[in-house]
Amino acid sequence: MTIKITALPKEKCNTCPEEFSFGVTFSDHMFIQNFDQDKGWIDANIGPYRPLSLDPSAAVFHYSQEIFEGLKAYRNANGGINLFRPEENIKRFNRSAKRMVMPEVDENLHLEAIKALVQLDQAWVPDQEGASLYIRPTMIATSPKLGLGASSTYDHFIITGPAGSYFSGGLTPISVFVADKYRRAVKGGVGEAKTGGNYAASLFASEEVSKLGYSQVLWLDAVEGKFIEEVGAMNICFVYEGKKIVTPMLSGSILPGVTRDSILKLAPSLGYEVSEQQLDIEEILADIDSGKITEVFGCGTAAVISPVGKLGFKEVDHTINDCQTGPVSKHLYDELTGIQYGTREDKFGWIHKV
């Protein structure tokens, strides 16, 4: 891998709060390599963050052959930098690649590229509480052809940028609308791959619910419209009587979140019971209304742990914990971010130091 340092570093401001809204500021460098059917992956390099030059007929623009990932680098208590379970994101990247008929990448090279990039742009890793460097690995199909079929050339690139809370209120509960008219993904489709088309397909419903004052959509299964799947940018968990955490089982149409998996492993060590189940929306709403469900929260890399204060379904709002952040969400948030920022023991071996 060759590394070229930009001659024109951007001016950055580590103290401006607006810098830390999510996904709008990008660091100085990027990793890129290209794939050619005859040569395989070639020209791995890190250079200045820059625009890509692509043919307008490039396959990605027409048929959405694209995948991406999201992970974070955290400034730890000693001033060093932690990556959280990057190998899980790399494995998921290659699973998504396979599903989208794209070439897999070398896992070691991908991890080395992330580490080298973060090391080079380490000044961009924020040290403010709750902020981190968001890392976005991506692969796009670049063959200039309109005939429908897998591309024969690809770009694999990684960009990074300082990021704060995904939702503007931080740990303040968000309101979520349960989609009754639209569906996100179906079993046998690409719902469990992290591919851009899943997100493009969700935008119409997101716009509709945002006009009604909700910030996210909760998707139901596409066949019966009965079972809970996931939220637009995160998986979802329900807390029963402050003790048991229940989340939809992986159905093949939802994203197997790294944060979801981390909670399923971390929560039992903190005394909670966990369960992955098929969850019927009507039963869940009844359990919210009766008070059996004491908290609801979403979980994801960008979203971290986001309490849900209100679930809207068919014109009725179901309020959870008086729209306040509950003790279980706060406990899990503190423990998970504690491991990520290095203030809690890394008892599962999840941290890679840069």
- Where on the chain is the footprint of ligand PLP (CB under 6 A)? 70, 230, 233-235, 255, 257-260, 300-301
Q: Which of 301, 306, 321, 340 binds ligand COI (CB under 6 A)?
A: 301
Q: List, in sequence order, every residue forming a beta bridge with 227; answer none if it has no partner.
A: 280
SS3 153: strand
257 binds, among ligand PLP, ligand COI, none (CB under 5 to 8 A by kind): ligand PLP
Rounded to a whole number of angstroms, the minimum distance from the CB of residue 148 to ligand COI is 27
Judged by beta carbon, residue 164 or residue 300, the one nearer ligand PLP is 300
Query: What is the sign, positive or negative, of the torsion defined by CA atoms of 172, 173, 177, 182?
Result: positive
Residue 82 or 143: the one with the smaller Cβ distance to ligand COI is 82
Residue 288 interacts with ligand COI (CB under 6 A)? no
In the DSSP assignment, the letter for residue 173 is P
- Measured distance CA(312)–CA(213) in Å, rounded: 10
Q: Smallest gap, in angstroms, from Cβ of residue 89 to ligand COI? A: 9
Our CB check for ligand COI shows the closer of 65 and 206 to be 206
Q: How far is the CB of 222 from ligand PLP (least distance, A)?
A: 14
Asked if 233 is part of the footprint of ligand COI (rule: CB under 6 A), the reply reads: yes
Examine residue 160 and tell whether it contacts ligand COI (CB under 6 A): no
In sequence order, the 6+-apart residues with CB closer than 8 A to the CB of 241 are 292, 294
Could you give the C-alpha distances from 266 to 102, 171, 262, 349, in angstroms and in order? Answer: 33, 19, 6, 12
Residues of this chain, 70-89, that bind ligand COI according to CB under 6 A: 70
Which DSSP category does 223 fall into? T
User: From the list ligand COI, ligand PLP, none, which binds 229 (C-beta under 5 to 8 Å, kind-based)?
Assistant: none
Q: Which stretch binds ligand COI (CB under 6 A): 7-15, 57-65, 297-305, 336-344?
A: 297-305
Calpha distance 84→264 (Å, rounded): 16
- Cβ atoms within 10 Å, residue 132: 27
Taking 3-state DSSP, the helix, strand and coil percentages for the chain, each rounded to the nearest 5, stand at 25, 30, 40
Which residue of 90, 133, 281, 302 would you call a contact of ligand COI, by CB under 6 A? 302
Q: Applying CB under 6 A, which residues contact ligand COI?
A: 70, 233, 300-302
